[in-house]
Amino acid sequence: MGVSGGFWHHEFWLPPGATWEDLKESADTHYPQPQDLLLCIPGALLLIFVRCLFERTVALPLGRGLGVRDKKRPKVQPNATLESFYVLLGRTPKEEDLISLAKQSDLPIRKVETWFRHRRAQDHPRLMKKFCEASWRFTFYFTSFFSGLALLYDKPWFWDPTMCWLKFPQQPLPPALGWFYLLELSFYCSLVATLPFDVKRKDFKEQIIHHIATITLIFVSYCANMIRFGMMVMLVHDASDYILELAKMLHYLKWQRVCDAVFFAFAVVFILSRLVLFPLIVYYYFVTKLPLFPISCLINAFLGVLQLLHIFWSYLIIHMIFSVIFRGGKRQDARSDTEESDRSEAEDPAKNQE
């Protein structure tokens, strides 16, 4: 048996007693085919193109029309010595580095500190860029969630999760669900591709872990024909994302009271969907109704990673809300932009949650 044959062996991908022969297609019956997922590559490229077009022709004019304005930033005087240190060694020099750089550039230490502060501000993303990114993600998540809801509303297994596993794995794939799966996979692949160019968050590492886990789960669940379960997981996760992106947009527009209300709605939906519905209903029936086999164990591990991220982000959300409401603290949370954020922007509960 070759490497490819060993990788696709039915004992690895399917529950005990099932083989690939059970998923053989006919004229009227279609099952997931792994090669279908190769379409995610052109799909991701297409979404990146659509995003660029959307941000330029929709989000940018919308932001300008609603009053989003970038703040003027101080100009940085060219200095080869300081620029070389900034690019090669770090954006925030230590005290001994400041003394050395001051001597090399024949400048007072205070002016060197000011130069680095202004230079970091130059690299910080503009408010309009943040608004455009949030607008794109809001549009996609909103469309994705309500499209998924429309696709699943009349499915009996949507209302009774035990039916997700009825006659598994012999569950024919409706074309609409197959295209939805491909769209979600393409979107997360596009997010990974644009991570180096997007606004960098303080939870950048957690973002990468989340995207990798999500892409792996979509790929594996499609190949193993766990489409019903995968659809439930994606719908639960999409339920709060568009609310967060809306809160960000309102924050950039400085509509603070509306932003606060939307953010608290996001917090409620996020905690209910990620810490209640997902583990107690969707995940519970996955564990109790499905026999153990290699792929189910792999999915179990990645679902555990996602749940740890849910707990981590829920803690940050709850901690921030309590600090604002009961302690009167600043509305800044650990998932905001990088440290060079404008101070006025950091004082908001919706600031760049993911």
Both 108 and 179 in one domain: the answer is no
Query: Do 210 and 310 meet the contact criterion of CB atoms below 8 Å apart?
Result: no
Indicate whether 227 and 190 sit together in one domain.
Answer: yes
Numbers of helices and strands, H then E, in the chain: 16, 0
Determine the Cα angle at 257 with ends 251 and 262, to 5°.
70
**Residue 147 shares a structural domain with residue 52:** yes
Please indicate, yes or no, if residue 53 is contained in any of the structural domains: yes
- Rounded to 5 degrees, φ, ψ at 17 are 95, -15
pLDDT beyond 50 at 147: yes
What pLDDT, in 10s, does the model give residues 157-174?
Answer: 999 888 888 888 889 999
- Give domain status of residue 299, yes or no: yes
Judge whether 252 lies within some domain. Answer: yes
* Residue 34: inside a domain: yes
Task: Give 37-43 contacts, CB < 8 A, sequence gap 24+.
Answer: 37/182, 37/185, 37/219, 37/222, 37/223, 39/182, 39/186, 40/182, 40/185, 40/186, 40/189, 41/189, 43/182, 43/183, 43/185, 43/186, 43/189
Give 56's contacts (C-beta < 8 A, 6+ positions apart). Answer: none
pLDDT at 343 > cutoff 60: no
CATH number of the domain bearing residue 85:
1.10.10.60
Torsion of CA 153, 156, 162, 166, to 10 degrees: -130
| Residue 340 within a domain | no
* Calpha distance 102→96 (Å, rounded): 10
The residue segments making up the domain with residue 88 are 80-123
Regarding whether 84 and 212 lie in a shared domain, the answer is: no
213 and 301 together in one domain = yes
How high is the pLDDT of residue 124? 66
Are 184 and 144 in contact by the 8 Å Cβ rule? The answer is yes
Q: Residue 349: what pLDDT?
A: 43
Pair 112, 131 in one domain: no
Burial class (CB in 10 A: 0-12, 13-18, 19+), 33: middle
Cβ 200 vs Cβ 296: under 8 Å: no
Task: Report the alpha-carbon distance of residue 351 to residue 33 in Å, rounded.
Answer: 41
Both structure tokens of 197: 């160019």
What is the number of domains present in the chain? Answer: 2
Provide the mean pLDDT of the chain. 83
Looking at the structure, tell me whether residues 96 and 179 fall in a common domain: no
Inside any domain, residue 23: no
Residue-wise pLDDT for 271-312, tens only, equals 999 999 999 888 888 888 888 889 999 999 999 888 999 999
**245 plus 226 within the same structural domain:** yes
Contacts of 236 (CB under 8 A, 6+ apart): 273, 274, 277, 278, 282
pLDDT value at position 79?
76
